A and B are shown apart, each in its own frame.
Chain A
């Protein structure tokens, strides 16, 4: 979904809620993922301690982010990794393209990378006549169907096996319909192994980049990440600049938190640590490794003490699985690379409140996301902060597009409310008026929208203050 497309969140939500198949797919999936997480984090006290450690590691890392990035760059160079910096997604896309052109590369095999989704890299490369191929099974399925992922960890979670069988039959030449999962897997395996063998270039994300040794860590179950980073002659890794950690000693705790939170696993099948291109004497591995470090608004987020907590995220997706909104509407309704609670705080900061501020409304502030976040990001507090910034009464917001929802009607109402609370006489007069006419207010504008799914409260005939006076209760 291109980010410049007009985005009607309300309409998306209505559509998603009406789609029974979609709702059942998401309900089944998120129920399962929550259960799996609980099965691996069995000791609540230990889990809390581990989450504290994760939080401390990420906070300490953000506090010395420039130093860590400089160290990472120096160590990577020492190891023979070529480091690139990109301020915007356009710059990052062009760097990838220029690397491909240097090598005359056409076919790219891609491991899962949320940053590449953020860049809309596939579309960009296709427009330039290149062939980017997703290899993570979920990503492979949705690329065949020309869709964006609907979940950070399980990208095709919105499709059941029948729908996937149909996608395969419609899009892979010579394949007939089957809903047998083992057969579907065998079809994908056959196709993809051929692509690994013949690809010109491989691309991956990065889960943790270790500054002290210049090591890129990749977490995965399928082995496609290892294929993409080890078989083709060139490997390009993409990372958001917040993914750097200081030392290898910090990694076991974060890795444990990531696996447990994302898929309810003790450990993933593969933990792949890459320290550079093939050395003389080695018989395999890429001959060139590139690391592209993307900013795309992150350095700006760092400037605010409260909002910078957004950058602690390790992209486990557990907040999605626990969100009462996400589990009902699914990922696509958010119309954004990152859906769910983390998307609600990240997307408005990257793209601006004027474009994506609506995402922050998709929360009941139930706090489930904060309670499970492995690095303890206070997501509800950040959602409230972004809501405030959207209206920005004090004109001191820092997020792009702050104050975009400010409007005369609401400003007047809140001003009036303020005076009512400050001047007792005004308060008395207004209370009387509302007792008489409050229930007759016409349901138009925002009041109409609000009451379309809620029952409007009734104004009492007598105010609490009057009742108390009558009963002889003294206000002390």
Chain B
């Protein structure tokens, strides 16, 4: 439903407000935290701040994260892990699970539209996603959900595993916006995620896992 008359009268008022004369407004200055040049320091800052927000962070080399993942799944008795087929990490997951009967957790590919997968997704124990990288000063990961890796994968399962490449950790959100050419390339839904779902709506007491994941487990991969 488009209400043309409402639109016209709103714009008429906005334009006449302008003809009343504009107050002086300077061109906005830029604001950006000073870049942390040293990569090691940048990664360390990311890990420090993410951990402070109750994310569990593991720094690993190469494909070590797969083993660590299986260890955690078994330790916590998680029964299944949803992933998006066709991504970089998907191949590693599939080959790690192949022939290995004693992993415990079942590896579940998200293949269909959510309409056919919704109930299974809401019943899942854990999900795993890739990321576009991380932002050290904001203590956040950048997620650009894709057809392979839908947006609800990082939200609905109570445990969210995420893989962040250490050389894609930037100092600030502003820097990441430039480096990723964000304005032009961002997908339908883009996200910054800084920890597990939380609330302080009862007496301002911080509690985790109100709607989304209760646990966020991050692998920072060198």
Asked whether B21 lies within 8 Å of A305 as measured between CB atoms, the reply is: yes
A308 to B25, CA, bound (A): 13
Interface of B is mostly: loop
Interface-lining segment among B70-78, B95-103, B169-177: B169-177
Q: Mark B157-190, 1 if CB is under 8 A from A, else 0.
A: 0000000000000001110010000110011111
Let me know if A266 and B31 touch, CB within 8 A: no
Of A28-36, A333-341, A357-365, A454-462, the segment with at least 4 beta carbons within 8 Å of chain B is A28-36
Our pick among B14, B150, B174, B191 for the contact of A270 (Cβ within 8 Å) is B191
Decide: A247 and B183 in contact? CB cutoff 8 A. yes
**Interface check B138, CB cutoff 8 A:** yes
What are the residues of chain A within 8 A of B53 when measuring CB–CB? 269
Q: Tell which of B36-44, B60-68, B113-121, B125-133 binds the partner.
A: B113-121
Q: Are the CB atoms of B3 and A270 closer together than 8 Å?
A: no
Chain B nearest CB, measured from A159 CB (Å): 8
Is B9 a contact partner of A283 (Cβ separation < 8 A)?
no
The smallest C-beta distance from A71 to any residue of chain B, in angstroms, reads 13
Enumerate chain A residues within 8 angstroms of B195, measured Cβ to Cβ: 269
Instruction: Write out the residue numbers on chain B whose beta carbons fall within 8 Å of the beta carbon of A250.
Output: 28
A56 with B25: CB separation less than 8 A: yes
- Asked if residues A249 and B177 are in contact (CB atoms below 8 Å), the reply is yes
Provide the residues of chain A in CB contact with B117, threshold 8 Å.
Answer: 283
Among A312-333, those with CB < 8 Å from B are none
Asked if B197 and A223 sit within 8 Å, CB to CB, the answer is yes
> Given A84-B1, A181-B207, A182-B207, do A269 and B196 touch, yes or no (CB 8 Å)?
yes
Interface residue count for A (Cβ, 8 Å)? Answer: 99
Residues 182-213 of B contacting A (Cβ, < 8 Å): 182-183, 186-205, 207, 209-213
Task: Establish whether residues B150 and A284, one from each chain, have CB atoms under 8 Å apart when the complex forms.
Answer: yes
Q: Tell me whether A91 is interfacial, beta carbon within 8 Å.
A: yes
Known: A188-B210, A299-B13. A249 touches B30 (CB 8 A): yes
Q: Chain B nearest CB: distance from A84 CB in Å?
A: 6
- Given A185-B209, A282-B150, A283-B110; A161-B202 close (CB under 8 Å): yes
A197 to B112, CA, bound (A): 17
Inter-subunit contact B188/A181 (CB<8 Å): no
**A303 and B13 contact, Cβ closer than 8 Å, known pairs A181-B207, A253-B31:** yes
Q: List 19 A-B contacts (CB under 8 A).
A: A56-B28, A60-B25, A60-B26, A63-B25, A66-B18, A69-B11, A137-B199, A154-B201, A189-B211, A226-B191, A227-B211, A231-B118, A241-B10, A252-B172, A270-B192, A270-B197, A279-B188, A285-B188, A303-B16
